[in-house]
Structure 1
Amino acid sequence: MDEQRRRNIEYCEKEGHEVFKVYEDRGISGKNISGRPGLKDLLQDANAGKFDLVIVWKLNRISRKLIDILNIVDTLDKNKIAFRSLTESFETETPAGKLQLNIMGAIGEFERGTIAENVKMGMMARAKEGKWNGGKVLGYDIVEIPSEGKRRKETKIE
Structure 2
Amino acid sequence: MLRDNETIQQNQYKIVIYIRNTSWEQPEGHRLHRNVQILKSKYERAGYEISKVYSEPSLELDKNERPVLQQLLKDSASGLFGVVLVWNVFTLTSNGDELQRIERELAGNDVELCSATEEFDTSTKEGRDVFNCMCSLLQHEHSTTKQDIPLSALANMIVKRRPEREASSDDNI
The two structures have a TM-score, normalised by structure 1, of 0.64
Unaligned runs of 5+ in 2: 1-31, 146-173
Q: Assess, with a 3 A threshold, how the Cα gap between structure 1 residues 21 and 103 changes in structure 2: closer, same or farther.
A: same
CA drift at 1:53: 0.6
Q: Which residue of 2 aligns with 1:86?
A: 116
CA contact (8 A) 1:33 1:39 kept: no
Q: Give the paired residue count.
A: 114
Question: Are residue 53 (structure 1) and residue 83 (structure 2) matched?
Answer: yes
CA drift at 1:33: 4.3
Question: Are residue 25 (structure 1) and residue 56 (structure 2) matched?
Answer: yes
Deviations 1:66-120 (A, max 9, x none): 11111111111111111111001111211111111122222223247756xxxxx
The two structures have a TM-score, normalised by structure 2, of 0.59
CA drift at 1:3: 1.8
Question: Are residue 77 (structure 1) and residue 103 (structure 2) matched?
Answer: no
Q: Which has the larger radius of gyration?
A: 1
Counterparts of 1:59-138 in structure 2, within 5 Å, are: 59-111=89-141, 114=144
Unaligned runs of 5+ in 1: 116-158
More helix by share: 2
SS of structure 1 residue aligned to 2:114:
strand
2-structure distance, mates of 1:96, 1:7: 29
2-structure distance, mates of 1:86, 1:113: 18
Work out which structure has the larger RCO, using CA pairs closer than 8 Å and 6 or more positions apart in sequence.
2
1-structure distance, mates of 2:67, 2:92: 12
1-structure distance, mates of 2:66, 2:141: 21
